[in-house]
Amino acid sequence: MEAKRLDKNKNTITVVGLGAGDLDQLPYGIYRTLKQADQLYLRTKEHPVVAQLASEGVALTSFDEVYEQHDGFAEVYADIVERLLGKVQEAGHIVYAVPGHPLVAERTVQLLLEEGPNRGVQIEIGGGQSFIDPLFARLHIDPIEGFSLLDGTALSAHQVSPGLHTIIAQVYDAFVASDVKLTLMEVLPDDYVVTVATAVGVAGQERIESVPLYELDRVEHFGNLSLVYVPPTTDDTVSYRQFSYLKEIVAILRSPDGCPWDREQTHQSIRKNLIEETYEVLETIDDEDPDAMCEELGDLLMQIMLHSQIAAEDGYFTVDDVVATLNEKLVRRHPHVFGEKSANDSEEALANWQEIKAQEKAAKGIDVAAASKLSGIPRDLPALMYAYKLQKKAAEVGFDWDDIADVYKKVEEEYNELREASAEERAGELGDLLFAVVNLARFLKIDPEEALALTNNKFKKRFSYIEGKLHEAGRTFEQTDLQEMDKWWEEAKHQTKGRE
């Protein structure tokens, strides 16, 4: 294959790596490029090779002062690149040297490759040895087992894969180390042992130290040549926190060697489980019990995972498709967050949401104008909630009472009709009364489901008080009467007044 030729008519920046060690480890070709450079610029002079080059009379300029002029690394790197592009326009050709290899953990080089062609500047990569090779050799790591190389200055928990050898570079100081520590603690136990390696392969400067994660930012030898190595683990306490492991468990449960009960289930057979688990989550919310909520949300997630696994086995979709569809929808329906629209309050945000929903339906060929104004309400909602949503949709087009006094009259009217109804008519008339009460709740801006749930809980507490009184007396319900139970009911009511 013919090597790519440089265009001699273009301004050129030759980028070389200073390697991971001292001058003796530098390839001769790179050494010659550095020695012969008319203008040599360094991202930083904090590298063993630099002092040796200076002692040989090599003239060089570093950008260390740029770090002091900005609050973040992104601004530092952008400034360095801008200065380099300005220098090459003046000189025609310059050499830019970075620690390690130019294409390993070097953001300035990536920015040069992106911006150089737009500015008429040719970027030549001259090579170099990265810190990865000596690190693998020093820690006896076989990279074929799988490894991840991450940036300590921009680390996020979702990047960390506990099953891989993880190398976190650019951990320059204790401040970066502290951020790395806190991020890793989202994935790993606080006492998980990690290794800090500084100047690997540099004679007289190499420091290797293993510490528990919570002590990471207390290590004293952080510098420009420091990195953190996180060994892989399959420990259950770590694996159990991984979504990928949950997917694997559910797939095993549904496999031929899995659980007989799980294998037999279908979408329809576990339909009721989804409803039950949802209500169990709601109960923990009402009880303000975060520990129970955590557990019940897991049970609800299990139902989603089972339905997704069944669909995947049938060739319809996977749980990754479920997540992708949700992410896409959230971004699309929040243009005031992820796009160019604005929303100054929740009403404007909801208006954006409704407008985009209408556009989505139109894109699917659904004629929104021709559809019933009452469409779009899930038919399996609890009856009170269904009635509430029906009335809200009707009210949106003007089919509603003008005054709450008329609603009270309607409730009274339906109550009287129920009292006069025949046995055959009572069910229908009771439904009319309940529907009218839902209307009243809507006018009062009260969710009828929540209101009834409060009363249910109130009844349960007061009835439990009666049971407690009977238990204290060593009696049963057969050994009491309504009058005595009513007295205890009033006691319970008085004790809880103001808390319900």
pLDDT for the residue 353: 81
* CA geometry: angle 378, 383, 389, nearest 5 deg: 55
Sheet holding 93-98, edge to edge: 61-62, 40-42, 93-98, 11-17, 121-125
pLDDT for the residue 286: 85
Average pLDDT, the chain: 89
Q: Which residues of the chain have pLDDT under 50?
A: 1-4
pLDDT for the residue 7: 57
In the chain, what are the domains?
12-129 (3.40.1010.10), 132-238 (3.30.950.10), 243-334 (1.10.287.1080), 383-446 (1.10.287.1080), 451-497 (no CATH)
- Record the pTM: 0.67
* CA geometry: angle 53, 101, 220, nearest 5 deg: 75
* Dist CA 436 CA 423 (whole Å): 20
Q: Percent of the chain beyond pLDDT 90? A: 59
Sheet holding 207-212, edge to edge: 147-151, 165-169, 226-230, 193-198, 207-212
pLDDT for the residue 422: 93
